[in-house]
A and B are shown apart, each in its own frame.
Chain A
Amino acid sequence: MSVTRTIAVVSLALTAVTGVAQAQDKELVVYSSRQEHLIKPVFEFYTAKTGTKINYITDGEAPLMARLRAEGVNTPADLFITVDAGNLWQAEEMGLLRPVKSEVISANIPSQYRSSNDQWTGLSLRARTIVYSTERVDPATLSTYEALADDSWKGRLCLRTSKKVYNQSLTATMLETLGQERTTEVISGWVANLEVPVFANDTALIEAIDAGQCDVGIVNTYYFGRLEQDRPNLKAKLFWPNQEDRGVHVNISGAGVTKHAKHPEAAIAFLEWLTTEEAQRIFADVNQEFPANASLAPSEEVAAWGEFKADTINVEVAGRRQPEAIMLMDRLGWN
């Protein structure tokens, strides 16, 4: 039995070393792919308000999902926070989350931003829209996402890499509304109009428009907002496309309670609070996003970009059709 005893001793020693905390009521563990500087203010506010201590780990969504899956029943995580509906949908598919029937959440967040099985909810909205050069583009010549495939934009359009989930979700919703054939036409047109290699991030794309390398592009609103704050003389503006038909493509950041949460009540209470006006204000404003809670107006700087009609398609589509979208983009050479 000496082996067992050795393991026991080692295991006890390890417990001492690692100081594994035992469950307490006023404690929560969060795995978040929304980065630290965007979640910490909300966590700190909640801790000050309720005394609940929040431990968290930040990483990319894919590694965190792999970790949740590997840890299984023994995971310490209570809540999973991530960006993009595609990722939330996937977490649900993998069986990492649990259904949460909550009247608070369903009253606060519109249904197209929630899982149809109540496994996750959106917490903030971001529009992926057109950005154009104020020097070289007359906004009257802009109309829809699809119109950017026209020859008139040849050598003037810039895009971000198709590897980013935001573009994958945009393509996935186009597949759903426009169908395979039309989407193929549009994306081929976009690729044909590219003058410079696609950018690794939205910020670089907006900077390229400002510098005169590109005339139009497609970006998330908050990247534009950040750059606008840094550079008051930014020679670029946002344009809301497709106002005559489906509206601007909107995606979410959101969260769900994990299947094997050790503090499910505390996690649900926190998630419910995150959908209330008090939390929504901080959660959205810290990243210049739109609150998912419809009763709340966006912050002043966000509202300054003007009102727009948003696509009401259920964001779950982004997850369901994501692989299809990536394959299409690969085939058409959007790298």
Chain B
Amino acid sequence: MPRWRLVAYLAAALVLMPLLVLLLSWQSVDTMIWSHLLQTQLFTLIGNTLVLVGGVGVGVILLGVSLAWLTSLCEFPGRRLFDWALMLPFAIPAYVLAFVVIGLLDFAGPVQTQLRAWLGSDFRMFPIRSTGGVIAVLILVFYPYVYMLARGAFLAQGRGLMEASRILGHSPWQGFWRVALPMARPAIGAGVALAIMETLADFGAVSVFNYDTFTTAIYKTWHGFYSLQTATQLASLLLLFVFLALYVERRAQGSKRFPGSDKPRQGPLYRLRGPLAWLACGYCALVLAVAFVIPVIQLVWWAFDSGVADFDSRYWRVIRNTLLLGGMAALITVGVATLLVLARRLQPIRRVRSAVAVANLGYALPGSVLAVGIMFAFSFLDNQLLIPLRQWLGNPQAGQLLMGSLFALLLAYLIRFMAVAYGPLDTSLARIRPSLPEAAHSLGQSGWTVFWRVYLPLLLPGVLSAALLVFVDVLKEMPATLLMRPFGWDTLAVRIHGLTVEGEWQRAALPALTLVLVGLLPVIVLIRRSGRGVRH
């Protein structure tokens, strides 16, 4: 079936286009800027970046896995609520949580001001604008990746497995460490990989904290030294980092794949009682409060404080644009990612595997750099191919086709968020036993029928998670949207950008709040649908 191979190559080519633009930047090197970077900041920046990635990586594993374990396998007061509510922080963009946390907790913010009023004006709290502060914010924003994927894995493991481990003399604790956790490792790994890629690419949150990372150096080189070329070179080095991270993740996982259980578990495995139950409840409540409830209350407060005057009739158009873009991008991206996952499964030859790996690279680059790469690639196509072609076809007035078109923006989203859709799809495909499609084939069914009637129904939970992740990510995406949107296609993220750039943080609360609310709807719908157990 050569067509599978073709799909993988095409997707890889699409992502390679902007990456090639990045690599082309190495044609010449600005020694002045490079030697300055090497002499002053580069090693500090790399150190800072590693600290950030390490801290966030460990944090999202601890938070994501422990919460997933509690809500998917235990029973305690409030579990049903936390089950879906713990996904909610995912709807808050990192840059929004960053400015809320600083607005709330910095020296001039309400918390410290109140504390000084009580404890005397010499009172000093720990500095929130610090390495610890920025790591905490990113953990709170990115743990849902791990939570969601780990939860799916724990639910799919089925009850029989843990029961067997207990019959064999494992304590619940041992069962978790020796059976459940190793089996969920691919899913957890995929979640952590997404969180780490987001961290590497993050510019919004770190710049609110003024924490210098590799990404901020890229921006500084571009915006300050006006050297887009050197910035692109730095970005391609960042890609090396990502390659390494992904490689380590793949190697660590090896080729272990665990088919899911045929009988998803009904009912909880552990009924927590007494203080333990309340401890679990308190822990979940604390995370939810810090990562979601308190920030949202603060946003509501600001939104009313700065007046709802900004909420004009055009707001509905902005909301509509935001939803449309998110929806269309989710459809396209999940469609392509599904084909990729299948291609890798059905033709696992080295070349296809590499193509698939390449197709997933767009996520780790700082959005702005990737956006510029895509823009140069599309402009090149416009100028060198499409416009001359249309002039030759008899349209002397031909203008740009790709640049400034909706199509180009959607392609940019596809390139950027392929990995986000790929992760959940890959883990849910891994749980489909090869014997199922084999059986279908032996019954004389063609490839397409098997796809429609065997794979797709089984993939559905993965498809839904993937669509949700992409949808919310597109809502939050800023640089590519800013750079490539057609005239008049302003989104909520564009509104937030316009205000925060001007330092109008409180006025940005209204679009930020709207963005969170709009992003919540699908999160709630989806999480509630996938309730207990896995649907077939």
Do B379 and A22 touch (CB < 8 A)?
A: no
Residues in chain B near residue A58, CB distance under 8 A: 482, 494, 498
Q: Smallest CB–CB gap between A259 and chain B, Å?
A: 15
* B407 A11 Cβ-Cβ under 8 A: no
Q: Which of A112-120, A193-201, A292-300, A302-310 contacts B (4 or more CB under 8 A)?
A: A193-201
Indicate if A180 sits at the interface (CB-CB under 8 A).
Answer: no
Which of A72-80, A146-154, A263-271, A275-283 has 4 or more CB atoms under 8 Å from chain B? A72-80
A163 interface hit (Cβ, 8 Å): yes
Interface string of A36-77 (1 = CB under 8 A from B): 111000000000000000011111111100110011111010
B388–chain A nearest beta-carbon distance, Å: 10
Docked-complex contact A204 and B106, CB < 8 angstroms: yes
Could you tell me if A11 and B386 are in contact, using CB atoms closer than 8 angstroms? Answer: yes
Docked complex Cα distance between A129 and B40 (Å): 29
In the complex the two chains form, is B502's CB within 8 Å of A208's CB?
A: no
Across the interface, which residues of A come within 8 angstroms of B482, CB to CB? 58-60, 63
The contact of A18 among B209, B401, B479, B490, by CB within 8 Å, is B401
Minimal beta-carbon separation of A134 from chain B (angstroms): 16
Chain A residues with Cβ under 8 A from B106's Cβ?
204, 208
Q: Does any Cβ of A come within 8 Å of B113's Cβ?
A: yes
- Flag whether A207 is at the interface (Cβ < 8 A): yes
Please tell me if the beta carbons of B502 and A35 are within 8 angstroms of each other in the complex: yes
Q: Closest Cβ of chain A: how far from B52's Cβ, in Å?
A: 15
Instruction: Choose one: A17, A74, A335; the contact of B383 (CB below 8 Å).
Output: A74
Question: With the chains together, A14 CA to B488 CA distance in Å?
Answer: 18
Q: Which residue in A17, A29, A161, A211 is a CB contact (below 8 Å) of B405?
A: A17
Closest residue of chain B to A62 (Cβ to Cβ) is B223
Per-residue CB contact flags for chain A residues 319-333 toward chain B (1 = under 8 Å, else 0) read: 000110011001100
Number of A-B contacts (CB under 8 A): 166
Contact of B379 among A63, A71, A199 (CB under 8 A): A71
- CB contacts (< 8 Å) of A204 on chain B: these are 102, 106, 108, 503
Interface-centre pick from A4, A8, A15, A66 (highest chain B CB count, 10 A): A66
Residue-wise interface mask of B (10-49) relative to A, using a CB-CB cutoff of 8 A (1 in contact, 0 not) = 0000000000000000000000010010001100000000
Contacts of B393 in A (CB 8 A): 8, 11
Asked if B193 CB lies within 8 Å of chain A CBs, one says: no
Asked whether A242 is an interface residue with its Cβ less than 8 Å from the other chain, the reply is: no
Q: In the bound complex, do residue A213 and residue B108 qualify as a contact, i.e. CB atoms below 8 Å apart?
A: yes
Q: How far is the CB of B58 from chain A (nearest CB, A)?
A: 24
Interface residue tally on B, bucketed by range: 35 or more
Binds A, one of B164-172, B367-375, B463-471: B367-375
Chain A residues within an 8 Å CB radius of B113: 211
A-side interface mostly: helix
Q: Which B residues are CB-close (under 8 A) to A203? A: 503-505
**Which A residues are in CB contact (< 8 Å) with B121?**
212
From known contacts A35-B498, A66-B228, A326-B220, infer whether A74 and B488 are also in contact, taking CB-CB under 8 Å. no
Across the interface, do B127 and A35 meet the contact criterion of CB distance under 8 Å?
no
A residues near B41, Cβ cutoff 8 Å: 330
Query: How long is the Cα–Cα vector from A72 to B376 in the complex, in angstroms?
Result: 11
Structural contact, A57 and B216, CB atoms closer than 8 A: no
The interface size of chain A toward B, counting residues with CB under 8 Å, comes to 64
CA distance A198 to B130 in the complex (A): 11
Q: Which residue of B lies closest to A7 (CB)?
A: B389
With the chains together, A4 CA to B380 CA distance in Å? 18
Q: Is A22 in contact with B397, judged by CB distance below 8 angstroms?
A: yes
Give the distance in Å from the alpha carbon of A150 to the alpha carbon of B61 in the complex: 48
A20 B399 Cβ-Cβ under 8 A: yes
Which residues of the partner chain B approach A61 to less than 8 Å between Cβ atoms?
A: 223
User: In the complex, what residues of B have CB within 8 A of residue A57's CB?
Assistant: 485, 487
Q: Are B407 and A18 in contact (CB under 8 A)?
A: yes
Q: Which of A18, A22, A37, A163 contacts B486 (CB 8 A)?
A: A18
Q: Is B387 an interface residue (CB 8 A)?
A: yes
Once A60-B501, A63-B482 are accepted as A-B contacts, the answer to whether A71 and B403 lie under 8 Å apart by CB is yes
Please give the distance in Å from A111's CB to the nearest CB on chain B. Answer: 24
B487 contacts which chain A residues (CB < 8 A)? 29, 55-57
B376 and A202 contact, CB distance less than 8 A = no
Residues A201 and B503 in contact, CB atoms below 8 Å apart:
yes
Q: How far is the CA of A60 from the CA of B383 in the complex (A)?
A: 24
Q: Which residue of A lies closest to B387 (CB)?
A: A74
* Complex contact B107–A62 (CB within 8 A): no
Cβ distance B324 to chain A, nearest Cβ, rounded Å: 14
A196/B107 in contact, CB under 8 A: yes
When distances are taken between beta carbons in the complex, the residues of chain A under 8 Å from B129 are 196-197
A63 and B387 contacting across the interface, CB-CB below 8 Å: no
Interface string of A86-121 (1 = CB under 8 A from B): 000010011000000000000000000000000000
Contact present for B127 and A330 (CB under 8 Å): no
User: Do residues A200 and B376 form an inter-chain contact, with CB atoms below 8 A?
Assistant: no
Q: Are A14 and B401 in contact (CB under 8 A)?
A: yes
Q: Can you list, as one digit per residue, whether each of B399-411 has a CB less than 8 Å from chain A (1) or not (0)?
A: 1111111110000
Provide the residues of chain A in CB contact with B208, threshold 8 Å: 200
| B212 CB-CB contact with A under 8 Å | yes
How far apart sit A55 and B219, CA to CA, in the bound complex (Å)?
Answer: 28
Among A36, A74, A198, A201, which residue has its beta carbon within 8 angstroms of that of B400?
A: A74
B492-536 contacts to A, CB under 8 A, are: 494, 498-499, 501-505
In the assembled complex, how far is the CB of residue B202 from the closest CB belonging to chain A, in whole angstroms? 14
Whether A330 pairs with B36 at a CB distance below 8 angstroms is yes
Bound complex: CA of A196 vs CA of B124, how far in Å? 12
Q: Is A23 on the interface with B (CB-CB < 8 A)?
A: yes
Q: Is A67 in contact with B375, judged by CB distance below 8 angstroms?
A: yes
**Nearest-neighbor residue (CB-CB) of A89 within chain B:** B226
- For chain B residues 442-474, which have a beta carbon within 8 Å of chain A? none
With A63-B482, A73-B383, A74-B382 as given contacts, are A335 and B505 in contact (CB-CB < 8 Å)?
no
Rounded to whole Å, the gap between the CB of A34 and the closest CB of chain B is 9
Contacts of A327 in B (CB 8 A): 36, 40
Q: Which of B33, B223, B376, B400 contacts A20 (CB 8 A)?
A: B400
Residue in A197, A212, A226 whose beta carbon sits within 8 Å of that of B127 in the complex: A197
Question: Do B210 and A210 touch (CB < 8 A)?
Answer: no
Contact across chains for A70 and B376 when beta carbons are under 8 A apart: yes
> B387 contacts which chain A residues (CB < 8 A)?
74
List chain A residues, Cβ under 8 A from B479. 63
- Is B222 part of the binding interface, using a Cβ–Cβ cutoff of 8 Å? yes
Q: How far is the CA of A30 from the CA of B476 in the complex (A)?
A: 25
Please measure, in the bound complex, the distance between the C-alpha atom of A331 and the C-alpha atom of B36, giving whole angstroms.
9
Residue numbers in A under 8 Å from B399 (CB-CB): 20, 22, 74, 76
Say if the beta carbon of B178 comes within 8 Å of chain A.
no
Rounded to whole angstroms, the CA-CA distance of A90 and B225 in the bound complex is 10
Q: Within the complex, what minimum Cβ distance (angstroms) separates A211 from chain B?
A: 4
B436 touches A (CB below 8 Å): no
Query: Which of B224, B225, B407 sits near A14, CB closer than 8 Å?
Result: B407
Cβ 8 A contact of A55, one of B36, B403, B488, B504: B488
CB-based closest 4 A-B pairs: A211-B108, A70-B379, A18-B405, A207-B108
Please name 17 pairs of A and B residues whose Cβ atoms are closer than 8 Å in the assembled complex, sorted by A.
A11-B389, A14-B401, A56-B487, A57-B487, A60-B501, A63-B371, A63-B372, A67-B483, A70-B380, A71-B382, A72-B379, A74-B379, A90-B226, A197-B210, A322-B224, A326-B225, A330-B40
Which residues of A are in contact with B by a Cβ distance under 8 Å? 4, 7-8, 11, 14-15, 17-18, 20, 22-23, 29, 35-38, 55-63, 66-67, 70-74, 76, 90, 93-94, 161, 163, 165, 168, 196-204, 207-208, 210-213, 223, 226, 322-323, 326-327, 330-331, 335
Known contacts A11-B401, A17-B407; 18 further A-B pairs (Cβ under 8 A): A15-B401, A22-B397, A35-B502, A63-B483, A66-B228, A70-B376, A74-B399, A74-B400, A163-B216, A163-B220, A168-B224, A196-B127, A197-B210, A208-B107, A208-B108, A226-B504, A322-B225, A335-B210
